[in-house]
Amino acid sequence: MKIRFHWGTGLAIALITFMVFIVYIAFIRPNVASQLVSDRYYEEEMKYQDIIDERNNANVLPEKLFVEVLLAGIKIHFPKAFRTGNTTGKFHLLCPSDKLWDVNKSLNLDARSEELIPARVLREGAYVLIIRWSSDNKKYFMKQPLVWKQ
C-alpha cells in the first residue's frame, strides 16, 4: 500500500502538530517553575530614579569598578579611592534560573579594595551582579551580567 501525499494528508499533519503544541502549552509548560527577580518588584520600581542617579555617579568615576571571573570565584576590584574604612554597601549576585543560588552579602573590602565571592557558593550558569555602595555620603550603583564556569 502506497501513501500518497496530497492536501488532505498535509492538513492532517498540520492539525496533529497544532494539537500536540496546544497540549504542551496547556498541560506541560505550566509545570515549569518561574520566579520573579524580586518579591518586592513594584516597590523597587518606584525607587528607580535613585538607581539612575547612583549609576550616573559610578559612570563619572575616573577609575571604574572591575569584575574578574577567576577559578577561585568572582573578584570585584574597587577603585583605589574606595578604601575599606570609608566604603559600605551590599552586593547581590542573582541567579535568574534558581533563586536558591542567589548570593546577598555586605561588602567587606580587603586592604587592596577587593571583594571575593568564593567558588564554593556558586554553580555554573548565568548571574547578574548588582552592587550598591556608598563612600563619603555619595551613593553608587553597578549592574553587570556574568557567566560562571568552573
Q: Structural domains in the chain? A: 1-32 (no CATH), 41-148 (2.60.40.10)
Rounded to 5 degrees, φ, ψ at 83 are: -85, 165
Q: Which three cell numbers stand for residue 67?
A: 569584575
Residue 141 has what pLDDT?
A: 93
Can you give the three-state secondary structure of 42-78, one letter per residue?
Answer: HHHHHCHHHHHHHHHHHHCCCCCCEEEECCCEEEEEC
Q: Which of 130, 136, 138, 128 is nearest to 53 (CA)?
A: 138
Helices (H), the chain: 7-23, 41-46, 48-59
pLDDT tens per residue across span 119-139: 888 888 889 999 998 888 889
Q: How many CA atoms lie within 13 A of 147 on its CB side?
A: 1
Q: Which of 119, 117, 120 is nearest to 131 (CA)?
A: 117
Type of residue numbered 140: Y
pLDDT tens per residue across all 150 residues of the chain: 677 778 888 899 999 999 999 988 888 776 656 565 666 777 777 778 888 889 999 899 888 888 998 888 899 988 887 776 678 889 899 888 778 888 888 888 887 888 888 888 888 888 999 999 888 888 999 999 998 887
Residue 18 has what pLDDT?
A: 95
Residue 55 has what pLDDT?
A: 92
First-to-last alpha carbon distance for the chain, in angstroms, is: 57
Q: Which three cell numbers stand for residue 11?
A: 492538513
Residue 25 has what pLDDT?
A: 86
What percentage of the chain reaches a pLDDT higher than 90? 20
